[in-house]
Each structure stands twice: as C-alpha cells, then as structure tokens.
Structure 1
Amino acid sequence: MTGRRFLRRFARHRLALASAVLLASLTLAAVAAPLVEAALGVDQTAVSLLDRFAPPSAEHPLGTDELGRDLLVRLLYGGRVSLFVGVAAALAAGLIGTGIGLLAGYFGGRLDALLMRVTDGMIALPLLPLLIVLAAVDLTRLGVPPSWAGAEDASLLRIVVLVALFGWTTVARLVRGATLSARRRDYVLAAVALGAGSRRIMLAHVLPNVAAPAVVATTLTVGNVILLESVLSFLGLGIQPPLPSWGNMLTGAQDLVTTAPWLAVWPGLLIFVTVIAVNLLGDGLQDALDPRTLGRA
C-alpha cells in the first residue's frame, strides 16, 4: 500500500484523525513544558506553602496544588513521563512480540511449539498483580547499586522493562498468524526458489507484509500501558515523586477530592482522553491497513 493511499483511507476515519491530532497536541504540549514553565515564570519543583490551593490566575492558569506548585506545568511534565512510559513500553513489547511471532510463524515445528507454549504461559499470568509484586521488589536486593536504584528515573525505567517483558504476547500471536499465511504466498516461495536466505526472506519479504497487525496492536498497547502506570502510581509503586506523572498526581490528590477536586479531575481527565484517543487511533489504523479493504481506497 502506498503512503498516499494509506493517508487517504485513514483521513476518512474522522474520529481516528481527530485522535491523532489530539495526541500530537498533547505530545507537543508535553515537550514544550520547559517553555511554558519559563513563560509563566514558575518552577514546577518549587514549594510555596503560602500559595497552596490557589485558584486559576494569570500566573497559575489552572491554580496550584497542595504544595503551592503550578498545576498546569506539573500536568505538562507529568504528560512527558506518562506518554514516554506508554510509547516506550509499547514499542519495546511490540518489537519483542514481532520477533517472537516472526520466528515462530516462519520456522514452525518445534521452535513454533516452544515459543507458543511460552506465550501461553505468559498469557496465563495475571498481569496487574504480577506487575504490582515486581514493582515492589527492592532493586538493591537484586544486586543493583543503591545509587542507581534510588535514581529519579529508576521507577520509570522499571515500569518500561516490566511491561516490555510481560506485554508482548498479543503482538506475538498476531504476527505469528500473519506469518503463517505469508510464508505460503508466491513471492515468498519465489524468494526461496531463488536461493534467498531465511533472514533475508523474513526481513525483506515477510515482515513488511505482516507489519500491519503489529502496528495496530502496539498502538492499542500504549493506552493499556498508560492505565497500568496510573494504577501502579496510584498504589505508590509506579513513578515516584518528585518526578510527576498523571498517575502519581492522582495519588497525591486522593485525600483532597472534597477540598480541591480539580487536583484529581485534571490528571484523571487527561488519562481518560489519552486512552480513548489511542484506542480510536488504533481503530483507524486497523481500517486503513486492512488488506481486505484495499479495493475501496
């Protein structure tokens, strides 16, 4: 499928197009967090007890939190963390799942049986309870240097690694199924007859033609990862303060719902909107990449 045809088909899915624009806007706003911070003349880490729970104003467009920190700027910095975790973990899980599915589907036999049994075992594990247990493990007891285990980014990287290690199963199954079909196609059989090696056939002929389900599944995983990060942070096992994320901002606001409800409304609303937009984007990509609708372009 050409890029122009894909864009034309994707543009017909109005909700997916609007979701893509919304996600791009949120990403740009998160990237521009330091610029917004400088323009407002505030410091998102500075505590000012005299400015606690300040209402919206020119200096603080969304008001301040329980420590007098600017809420808008912290939401933007929290978006950087939450969006990074969602995208990085989903991409890592997608790469692992694509590799496993490609190997299992192309070579088949015992390798396929082994990899699929491993996949079945991973699917049988309860993901959220498992992540809660592993997120609570003291890294220093595993031989990790205390300086690294206590670093500000350690909790962020831990969630990315955990989700990547346990969240690849859906992509693996989808890619395996598509590979089983693709390896019987004429262009693959022709490459085999011409003496092309397995690695070249998988990367040059099979992978480009099975990428669509992997792309869609990876896109949908982003929303799930953001929700998982939010749950873990809400339980105090995810992104650790002072590094802000939408999840731990909800955690900090749970005791203030009656006195300062906006502290919970804004991060909760951003999580909700982002997850819905990612799911709608995935639906649009699925329709645009579906080979059964090629003739309708």
Structure 2
Amino acid sequence: MTHPTPLRRAQRIRGNFLRNRMAVLSLIVLILLVLTALAGQHLLALLDLDGFETDLFNLKGPPDPGHPLGTDELGRDVLARLILGSQASLTVGLITALTAAILGSIIGICAGYFGGWLDSLLMRLTDGVIALPLLPLLIVLSALDFNKIGLGAFTDGSGLMRLVMIISLVAWPTVARLVRAETLSLKQREFVVAARAQGATPFAIMRRHIFPNVQASIVIATTLSIGNIILLESVLSFLGLGIRPPTPSWGTMLTNAQDYIWDSPNLALWPGLAIFVTVIAFNFLGDGLQDALDPKQHRR
C-alpha cells in the first residue's frame, strides 16, 4: 500500500475543506473580522468615527450619515465601538486559545508518553479542573486582586491580560485529554519504537515524532475552543468582571445596553450579533478542519 506524498495530502485536505461551503464562508467572515480588528484605528480614521467621543445632545440616537449604527447611551458611535470591541474580544479569544493549547499539549504529551504515576497525577489534575463549576470558578478568579498575590506585573489597565490568564487556567483540559489519547496510540507505533531503539531521548521523540502527528487534533480543538472563550469573555464582561472601561468589548457593550433594552434594543442587537456570528463562524471552521484533516473522510 502506497502512502500519499505531502503534496497530494495537502491537495486532498484543501479539496475536502473547499467542499465544505459553510467552513469556507466562516473562514472568509473570520478573515474579515480579524482584518477589521487589525486595521481598526485606520478604518475609524477613514470613516471619520470616534469610539470614545461623547455627544450629550445625541444620546441613543438613530442611524444617520455621521453615525451608521447610531449612538449609545453616552452619545458614542456604536459602529466605532463595535470595531474597537472586536480588538479586545478577538485578542482574548485567540491568545487564550493559543495559551491553553500550548499548556494542554505539554501536559497531554507528557502524560501519554511517560505514563505511570505522572500520567495518573496529570489526569487527576485534568479531571479536577473539568469537574469544577466553570462560571462560578471564573467569577471567583476574576474577583481576585492580582496585585495582592504578586501577579500585578502580568496585568494591564484594561484587564485584558488578566482575563487571558484566568480563562487559560480552565481552558486547557480538553486539549490535554485529546493529545494524551493520541500519544498513547502513537508511542506504540513502529517509527517511535525504532527511534527509541536507536537511543533517541524521550524529549527528542516527543518533539520529532509525537508532536507533529498530533498537530492536526490540536489545531481543530483550538479552533473550536475560540468561540467558547469569546463567549466566556462576553459573560464575564457582562457581569462587570472582564474588560474594564473605557476599553470597549462586545461584552461590556451588552452590559451597558441592558438598561435600555426596551427603548433602544439596537444597542444590544449589534454586539450580540457580533458575538453570535463570530462564535458560529469559529465552530463551523473547526468542523470543516476536522472533516478536512480526518484521513477517513472523503477517502477515494
């Protein structure tokens, strides 16, 4: 039986992914969102919008040529704050997912390869984190004063990095368990046994043979987790425990809009819609990558 070359495998993955129209559409939407966030300041300058300037004579104003989506309860431009809010929400989602993926990969590979007492210890730790009630735990952690426990250097005025640290502490177990399961299978394969017989060190084997073969699963799990992390950030910001004002985020915009939901529902509509579209897009993208990278899918 012949194995496909890397080029043919890449072509097969690309073809499988492109056949999934929802995944392709989601990728396009996410690319536009990321580009909007990256070019936020330039885009606002081009549109002549300001997300911080207040206009007390135009509170909760309707859409007009100067304010395409209207103004909020303080007369600030809603579109500008949506663009600025995408920077905070996407930054938290992407950095937290990457941090959790790195931590979970290290724990999963070490547990699966070494086994024994280390595997038992790490997996009991993983099970313990999974068993904890997620939202109450995040609320308690968010209420901690990082300056009093010696972690003030890792925080910033907006609370963004603080939020990344908090959510990362509970976001890694899914990746860890997935990577551990694949490592347990891979370490029995012929190429790993041969490398061990040739005197390769455990860390060399994990770096050269185990990790490259679990990358696809890590990418899929990370992509699927970004949407959940953005939701968690929005919930914490909605409760007043996330991104601190005046830095806008979609969650804080929802918090500010809750008192005006009946007379100005558009103030909650736009950030809610942004969160919904982003989370759905990441989930569809993750499903598309899972189908494309699975060798059992679309086999010919």
Say whether the 8 Å CA contact 1:17–1:281 is kept in structure 2. Answer: yes
Give the alignment of 1:185-200 within 5 angstroms: 185-200=189-204
Give the alignment of 1:26-65 within 5 angstroms: 26-65=33-72
CA distance, structure 1, for counterparts of residue 275 and residue 89 of structure 2 = 9
Aligned counterpart in structure 1 of residue 243 of structure 2, from 234, 239, 242: 239
Higher mean alpha-carbon deviation, 281-290 vs 29-38, is at: 29-38
Higher helix share: 1
2:225 aligns with: 221
Structure 2 residues not aligned, in runs of 5+: 1-5
TM-score by length of 2: 0.93
Amino acid aligned to 2:86: G
Q: How many residues align?
A: 293
CA distance, structure 2, for counterparts of residue 143 and residue 5 of structure 1 = 50
**1:48 shift after superposition:** 1.4
Higher mean alpha-carbon deviation, 189-198 vs 170-179, is at: 189-198
CA distance, structure 2, for counterparts of residue 141 and residue 196 of structure 1 = 45
TM-score by length of 1: 0.94
CA distance, structure 2, for counterparts of residue 157 and residue 181 of structure 1 = 36
**1:4 shift after superposition:** 2.7
Say whether the 8 Å CA contact 2:57–2:75 is kept in structure 1. Answer: yes
Aligned counterpart in structure 2 of residue 158 of structure 1, from 147, 155, 162: 162
Higher mean alpha-carbon deviation, 249-258 vs 160-169, is at: 160-169
Higher mean alpha-carbon deviation, 272-281 vs 24-33, is at: 24-33
Give the alignment of 1:119-268 within 5 angstroms: 119-143=126-150, 151-153=156-158, 155-268=159-272
Amino acid aligned to 1:244: P
CA distance, structure 2, for counterparts of residue 291 and residue 165 of structure 1 = 32
CA distance, structure 1, for counterparts of residue 292 and residue 212 of structure 2 = 15
Higher mean alpha-carbon deviation, 162-171 vs 50-59, is at: 50-59
CA distance, structure 2, for counterparts of residue 211 and residue 109 of structure 1 = 24
Q: Secondary structure, in 3 states, of the residue corresponding to 1:50?
A: coil
1:273 aligns with: 277
Amino acid aligned to 2:209: H
CA distance, structure 1, for counterparts of residue 119 and residue 182 of structure 2 = 14
1:115 aligns with: 122
Asked if residue 4 in structure 1 is aligned to residue 8 in structure 2, the reply is no
Say whether the 8 Å CA contact 2:154–2:162 is kept in structure 1. Answer: no
CA distance, structure 2, for counterparts of residue 103 and residue 294 of structure 1 = 33
**1:148 shift after superposition:** 7.8
CA distance, structure 2, for counterparts of residue 180 and residue 139 of structure 1 = 38
**1:198 shift after superposition:** 1.3
Amino acid aligned to 1:211: Q
**1:217 shift after superposition:** 1.0
Cα deviation code 1:168-200 (max 9, x no counterpart): 001000000000001111111121122222111
Structure 1 residues not aligned, in runs of 5+: none
Amino acid aligned to 1:43: D
Aligned counterpart in structure 2 of residue 80 of structure 1, from 74, 83, 87: 87
2:3 aligns with: none
Output the aligned Cα RMSD.
Answer: 1.6
CA distance, structure 2, for counterparts of residue 293 and residue 111 of structure 1 = 35
Cα deviation code 1:5-49 (max 9, x no counterpart): 321111111111111111111111122221221123232111111
Report percent identity of matched pairs: 55
